[in-house]
Amino acid sequence: MNRLDLLSLLLGVYVLLYLTSVADSIKWLSLAMSSGATATISSANYCDSLVGLVKRQRRICKKNLEVMESVKLGAHEAIQECQYQFKNRRWNCSMVDPKSLFGNVLKLGTREASFVHAISAAGVAHAVTRACSSGKLTKCGCDRTVKGPSKDGFEWSGCSDNIAYGIAFSKTFVDAREKKSKKSGKNAGRRLMNLHNNEAGRLAIEQNMKVECKCHGVSGSCELRTCWRAMAPFREVGAIIKEKFDGATEVKSVMTKNHPRLVPTNPQFKPHTKYDLVYLVASPDFCEPDPKTGSFGTKGRVCNKTSKAIDGCELMCCGRGYETRKRKVVDRCFCKFHWCCYVTCQECEREIEEHTCK
């Protein structure tokens, strides 16, 4: 643990020196990788030891120490969800190393970058909301509607639901990186893109909440019915953002009245809404390894022989062809399950055919 802490401290210093470009704005995601999942967050020093935060985020961290655990969890969930959603694509959200995360892929304003921004902003909102619900965070807001926060707010009209706080915190923390507006020149477009995609990710949560209701009037009749919003599981949020990734709009930054603005590159396309993802640069094809773009290439990737989609061998291997190998795998079968904790299975051996790209 100590060695890890030292390492993260060093990395932190390194990152601080390094933080000059907006393009690195997803660096904070490396929180997901920092030390053990249950490391105690108790002192303000902790915030300084974290890798990948900007000054403003560090300040937020120090003010909201108890929330950081959830932020970490959110970042972790976001990365996992990204890898799940992209497991069949040429770029599979794989990480270069815990420090630089996805490598150079996200340095450019590609579709992939837009997805990672959206899913990470959503991940933080999701995790903070859950932590609020489980009572781990004491500071979750209690303001309510018209009259704003009042001292006896809870007694008078209850608190707003936890989602409001989760979303608000994600906005403060994740967007904090993008607030630097001194040099609004070249990077202004990228900053706008990041902010837009962060917001789109959070909106994916807000727009897909289920409304659940319960009747509890006289004798349980529906004379009195109370409804509340419930957050969709993160897997579904991920799927929704993935859909938005598929339909993302290419935009460019233009100056109107001295303010940069994003407009679709192709004027014939319908302008994007706040729910859509936007990107500035077309993605590379990710066929060959290229350190400049951060592409790993698809050599050695497993593909699906029968599929015609992107996970099919044709597309995945970029026409280079594939190798077929037969190998034996040990699988679990005839399982006996409990709802929790353990599954007792027998082991069965079977032979599978595996195709990998050349």
**Smaller CB separation from another protein, 223 or 323:** 223
Stretch of residues binding another protein (CB under 8 A), selected from 10-18, 184-192, 284-292, 339-347? 339-347
Work out how close the CB of 233 gets to another protein at its nearest, in angstroms, rounded to a whole number: 4
Supply the minimum distance, in Å, between the C-beta of residue 299 and another protein.
27
Which 61-100 residues touch another protein, going by CB under 8 A? Answer: 84
The Cα-based distances of 330 to 89, 159, 302, 341, 352 in angstroms read 26, 52, 18, 21, 10
CB of 146 to another protein, least distance (A): 5
Q: Please report how close the Cβ of residue 77 comes to another protein at its closest, in angstroms.
A: 12
323 in contact with another protein (CB under 8 A): no
Sites for another protein among residues 159-198 (CB under 8 A): 159-162
Residue 309 sits in the site that holds another protein (CB under 8 A): no
Contact stretch for another protein (CB under 8 A) within 171-179, 221-229, 278-286, 310-318: 221-229
Cα dihedral: 326, 329, 335, 341 (round 10): -130
For residue 205, the surrounding DSSP H or E stretch is helix 188-207
In whole angstroms, give the CA distance from residue 17 to residue 22.
14
Beta-carbon contacts of residue 40 (< 8 Å; ≥ 6 apart): none
Q: Which two tokens stand for residue 27?
A: 């660096």
Rounded to an integer, what distance in angstroms lies between the CA atom of residue 270 and that of residue 166?
31
- The dihedral region occupied by 175, where left means phi > 0, alpha psi between -120 and 50, and beta the remainder, is alpha
- The CA distance from 30 to 53, in Å, is 9
Near another protein by CB under 8 A: residue from 183, 235, 325, 358: 235
Interface positions with another protein (CB under 8 A): 37-38, 84, 130, 132-142, 144-146, 149, 152-162, 209, 211-214, 216, 218-220, 222-230, 233, 235-236, 332, 335, 337-343, 345
